[in-house]
A and B are shown apart, each in its own frame.
Chain A
């Protein structure tokens, strides 16, 4: 790494190297049976250089010849991509050391993880007419970021993720719950019981009248709505003036029960970070507080363009899980939290006169995301009447716009669940238009 840095510095004044080393195992159970184990042993490097206000970039997985990588980065300078920033100097040490890895987790054998998967499959299969799928992922990742201004920090993260799902017959729609942590944790019995009970209650297919009604979004589905806030608060879309939130800071846009923030420093969750993928110290950033829009978020590029200090939200993140080393940092909210409310999930269901539980969704990426529009399939959609679960509605769709729908928040669940896109409680909305 140091040699590569020196090699690049012979040609340009500023250099940044991002190195990733990763080892992972993916274990897949389908229909209650062990199906696949895939192991990855990967490494990779990306190189950014700055010369005369221009940015160059290249990456490789396998650094066979450093000269090739440097030449590719130098070639890319020719295009004249603007670099309105300098790479940051080494910051003062963080006030709190983050605990991001379990040193013994990778010593666990795959056999032990397979046993955990089998236990869950056996418990869930029981008497249910369900397809039980379990996937287990564990990973050990080390990232080192080094630049020519003296920044040199590494962070090692271990990650354990388990998804348990019960699919309804004839479909791939089902109920799911996750566990995400830094090391092995036994999947909680209460979550298994929750899945079984809810599955039993919703086996019957029902066909009530569609229209406007309450919809309780489960944590696993909330990313569809929050994605639209992320897009609108993204510094890129503020800079390009395409965001509907332009000039709306400090405006009450949503129900006062909604508070959304990004917190990479919370090391109770996996992948906590003290610096982003550009070397900027991370911090907690409030996006919405009591329904009021508080902040937009930036990487180095868009921060510099908008003359805002970089906030530590520049990550190499791909919408569809792209290859980290191949991506350039961009404004990203990787560590979102939606503040929980005061009612249990059971109490929320009991409070519904008539409506749906959105336990899974389809097509979150369709529609005009930046406008806040959503039009999503609910699969499964579980129908509730007078606080009782009646059954399951097939082929349901919910549509609306978050700037209207998120004004009609009835309540939030009293606990957050680590899930796709962040840590979210269930969210009960009123007056959502649903069709089938």
Chain B
């Protein structure tokens, strides 16, 4: 798709600003449900997303076929004018540099050069490991390869070609005994190529053992605890409880949240520093330019407990009077961009794990994520499993753990920050659109006064 093709669609635009993103998406999927292969497919598709800023109204039109370009433009202008009639503050876009670049990520083995048979055999071999155990009743294991080739132009002169290549192999392992069923998540993935999916036999073995052990674990007793979260859970907490409120589009229309989340406010424990950095190479969340053509940059969000920054699109950056950050991301060719985290993590501290355990003394050590959700200051997320800790020593294994809390309260109660750092390989965030490259992580952290749901 040459840029001139896209330029011709925008030729007749009558507006302050317009941009057009064309994408192709190639999706390879191999899915096993238990021992059975239920899907193997490779599909190619494409589409356009157009945005128009006219008279201070900003609107988006998504369309499939090139022939609909003129109709899409007319509709985008009409919608923008309609918005402008009712808007109190006209939309402005923060200034950014004009970019002309073509960028392909460095890959350790391009998945497109690995043949389907080899992908199938690798997926099958990992899937077979858990199924050898009598008490493993089923698995759901998927190989997913998404290759997005993006062309972006805007009326300011930016022209960007960027490829995003995501591979992952994983899913769930389900064990059963008597009436009890337990499911654990397993997998590897990222943006750095196919090689990271190889040699993962030990991971699948370990997760199989965990699924079996969970059958003997006891349900956690509900109540308020001090807890240590492992890096994965610390990452989910960072993403769910805090990260979403550094997304400017989520708070811009909430006067009360804006008041609480003013930059410079002491919001967390003085130990706590949180950063979002999409530019970390090789990570799941890596990209160079966002879907508005803005160069991504690392953003300190909390620095030593003090609110230090926010994630922006060009629109919100102008509205807040803060610099753009390059965080406007679309799931694919079906969506206009919204503000998303790239790679969000708690900066590691100096406390070794053993010291965290003795500082915890009595409480819970929680490991692995079962997803989470937030609603303003409240958040909820599930832990895959954990252990009771008594006198700093690991006790019985526990399951059925859901954590709930209040953002402001919890940020003040992160008392211990470990000296390790692990970033997630399997992301996923469902803020209206799915972002499979949403990456999070952190060190082990010690949190006081956490509510755990239980029967």
A residues adjacent to B (C-beta < 8 A): 30-31, 33-44, 56-62, 68, 72-73, 75-76, 78-82, 110-111, 114, 118, 131, 133, 167-173, 236, 240-242, 244, 301, 320, 322-323, 326, 328, 360, 362-368, 370-371, 373, 375-377, 379, 394-401, 433, 435-436
**Residue among B36, B381, B452, B453 having the largest count of chain A Cβ atoms under 10 Å:** B453
Q: Is the Cβ of A377 less than 8 Å from the Cβ of B88?
A: no
Task: Give, as a whole number of angstroms, the nearest-CB distance from A220 to chain B.
Answer: 13
Q: A34-B83, A38-B61 are in contact. Are A362 and B375 (CB under 8 A)?
A: yes
Q: By the criterion CB–CB under 8 Å, are A363 and B45 in contact?
A: no
* Contact B37–A75 (Cβ < 8 Å): no
- In the bound assembly, the distance between CA atoms of A204 and B83 in angstroms comes to 36
Chain B residues near A326 (CB-CB < 8 A): 27, 43, 45
Whether, in the assembled complex, B46 has its beta carbon less than 8 Å from a beta carbon of chain A, the answer is yes
Given contacts A39-B60, A57-B41, A171-B377, contact A371 B181 (CB under 8 A): yes
Give the docked Cα–Cα distance between A333 and B181 (Å): 23
DSSP majority for the A interface? mixed
B17 at the interface (CB under 8 A from A): no
Inter-subunit contact B453/A399 (CB<8 Å): yes
Nearest CB on A from B34, distance (A) = 5
Question: How many angstroms between the C-alpha atoms of A31 and B47 in the bound complex?
Answer: 32
A395 to chain B: closest residue by CB? B406
- Name the A residues within 8 Å of B381 (CB-CB): 363, 366
By the criterion CB–CB under 8 Å, are B373 and A367 in contact? no
- Is the CB–CB distance between B375 and A379 below 8 Å? yes
Which 8 residue pairs are nearest across A and B when measured between Cβ atoms? A171-B376, A79-B40, A366-B382, A375-B402, A363-B380, A377-B380, A31-B253, A30-B253
Closest-by-CB residue of B relative to A40 is B62
CA distance A169 to B59 in the complex (A): 28
Which residue in chain A gives the minimum CB-CB distance to B35? A240
- Residues of A with C-beta under 8 A to B107: none
Minimum Cβ distance to chain B for residue A322 (Å): 8
With A39-B61, A75-B42, A368-B399 given, name 13 new contacts (CB 8 A): A33-B87, A57-B41, A114-B86, A169-B256, A172-B250, A172-B374, A326-B45, A362-B373, A367-B400, A377-B378, A379-B378, A395-B404, A401-B455
| B63 / chain A contacts, CB cutoff of 8 Å | 40-42
Residue of A nearest to B60 (CB): A38
B263 proximal to A (CB < 8 A): no
A–B pairs, 11, beta carbons within 8 Å = A31-B255, A35-B253, A76-B39, A81-B38, A172-B376, A242-B174, A328-B38, A328-B39, A368-B181, A368-B399, A377-B373
- Bound-state CA distance A167–B252 (Å) is 14
Q: A37-B82, A375-B453, A401-B455 are known contacts. Are A58 and B43 too (CB-CB below 8 A)?
A: yes
The CA-CA distance from A140 to B53 in the complex, in Å, is 26
The distance from the CB of B138 to the nearest CB of chain A, in whole angstroms, is 4
**Which secondary structure dominates chain B's binding surface?**
strand
Known A81-B40, A368-B182, A373-B400; judge A44-B45 contact (CB<8 A). yes
Interface centre among B47, B174, B455 (most CB of A within 10 A): B455
The chain A residue sitting closest to B332, CB to CB, is A323
Which of B68-76, B288-296, B346-354 lines the interface with chain A?
A: B68-76
- Shortest Cβ distance from B82 into chain A, in angstroms? 6
Q: Which residues of A contact B64 (CB under 8 A)?
A: 41-44, 61-62
Report if A118-B86 is in contact (Cβ < 8 Å); known contacts: A173-B375, A244-B179, A326-B43: yes
Residues of B within 8 A of A244 (CB): 179, 181
* Residue among A61, A118, A436 making CB contact with B46, cutoff 8 Å: A61
Contacting residues, chain B, for A118 (C-beta < 8 A) = 86
Contact A75 B61 (CB under 8 A): no
Q: Which residues of B contact A167 (CB under 8 A)?
A: 254, 376
Binding site for A on B (CB under 8 A): 27, 30, 33-34, 36-47, 58-65, 68, 71-72, 75-76, 78-79, 82-83, 86-88, 116-117, 120, 137-138, 174, 176, 179-183, 222-224, 250, 252-257, 260, 333-334, 336, 370-382, 399-402, 404-406, 430, 434, 451-455
Residue in B closest to A47 when the chains form the complex, CB atoms: B43
Task: Tell me, rounded to whole Å, the shortest Cβ–Cβ distance linking B136 to chain A.
Answer: 10
B185 CB, min distance to chain A CBs, angstroms: 12
Contact yes or no, A36 B83, CB < 8 A: yes
> Are B181 and A366 in contact, with the CB atoms below 8 A?
no
For B71, list chain A residues within 8 Å (CB). Answer: 41
| Contact partner, B86, options A34, A242, A396, Cβ 8 Å | A34
> Taking A244-B179, A368-B400 as contacts, is the C-beta distance between A397 and B406 under 8 angstroms?
no
Instruction: Find B454's partner among A33, A35, A323, A375 (CB 8 Å cutoff).
Output: A375
Q: Closest chain A residue to B40 by CB distance?
A: A79
Specify which chain A residues have a CB less than 8 angstroms from the CB of B250 in the assembled complex: 172
B455 touches A42 (CB 8 A): no
Q: Which residues of A contact B46 (CB under 8 A)?
A: 61-62
- By a CB distance below 8 angstroms, the chain A residues around B434 are 320, 322
Q: Which of A30, A40, A322, A375 is the one whose CB lies under 8 Å from B382? A: A375
In the complex, which residues of chain A have a beta carbon less than 8 angstroms from the beta carbon of B42? 58, 72, 75-76
Q: A366 near B86 (CB under 8 angstroms)?
A: no
In the bound complex, residues from chain B placing their C-beta under 8 Å from that of A39 are 59-62, 72, 75-76, 79
Measured CA separation A242–B401 after assembly (Å): 21
Query: Considering the chains assembled together, what is the distance between the CA atoms of A172 and B244 in angstroms?
Result: 11
Q: Which residues of B contact A364 (CB under 8 A)?
A: 373
CB-based contact B82/A363 at 8 Å: no
Residue of B59, B120, B402 near A363 (CB, 8 A) is B402
Determine how close the nearest CB of chain A comes to the CB of B183; give it in whole angstroms: 7
In the complex the two chains form, what is the Cα distance from A317 to B156 in whole Å?
40
Q: How far in angstroms is the closest Cβ of chain A from B42?
A: 5
Question: Interface centre among B33, B174, B375, B455, by most A CB within 10 Å?
Answer: B375
Partner of A170, one of B38, B223, B260: B260
- Please, which residues of chain B bring their CB within 8 A of the CB of A366? 370-373, 380-382, 402
Contacts of A72 in B (CB 8 A): 41-44
CB contacts (< 8 Å) of B45 on chain A: these are 44, 59-62, 326
Residues of B within 8 A of A35 (CB): 83, 253
List the B side residues contacting A172 at CB < 8 Å. Answer: 250, 254, 374-376
CB neighbours (8 Å) of B333 from chain A are 61
Flag if B372 contacts A79 (CB, 8 Å). no
Q: Is the CB of B375 within 8 A of A360?
A: yes
